[in-house]
Amino acid sequence: MVSFLYSIDVAVFRWINEGWSNPFFDKFFSFITDSRHFYWLIIPLIIYWLICEKAKGRWLVLSLFIGVLLSDQIASHVLKYMVERIRPCNALPGVLTPDGPSSSFSFPSSHAANMGSSMFLLSMAFKPWTPLFVVIALLVGLSRVYLGLHYPSDVLGGYVLGITLGYIVWCVVEKLKVQFSAKPRPLEKAVRSKNKKRVKSG
């Protein structure tokens, strides 16, 4: 059963890595896979959320920071060293690597895990934009297969990890938001205590 699933994994990998190969996709997926190419958009958005969206934006940025931190660290520094799966570019002959090979382990894809957590959190915060976030996550995951750096199952595992962590972070942060919003401020406490005294004396 394991060998059968692996043969499917390799077949799909070959179909994407070799069957889709062309100069345009080489440049396109190499661009998509590198988050540094999108700092010009990510940084202004974070600043906007922190300053203009007030509490809602700050909670969102906190959620994204925690979600991506957890998904990246667990994928890159825990699961990869537990599974120790060799990347297809180092395990299979004739793999095309437009961006060059990588010597680190393969499962799960940290790119897919980070996309899973961040895009899930953004989808929860901006539900009408969910299709766009899904497309972004899929393109980044697909880029890892096309570039010869991950099997499709590596990407799928990364998505599962990232979405799971994103869901946990969202639930925890939502509970924290409720607790913090329900907690009366010092001034409100003083006003309430004065009102209680007036009611008693009256």
Q: Hey, which residues are catalytic here?
A: 111, 150
- Please give the Cα distance from 64 to 130 (Å, whole number): 16
Distance, CA of 94 to CA of 18 (rounded, Å): 9
What long-range pairs does 18-23 form, CB within 8 A, spacing at least 24? 18/94, 18/96, 20/146, 21/96
- CA nearest neighbour of 71 among 169, 183, 201, 178: 169
Kindly write down the DSSP assignment for every residue of 102-136, as one continuous string.
--S--SS-HHHHHHHHHHHHHHHHSGGGHHHHHHH
Alpha-carbon distance 113 to 32, whole Å? 15
What are the contacts of 1-6 at 24+ separation with CB within 8 A? 5/153
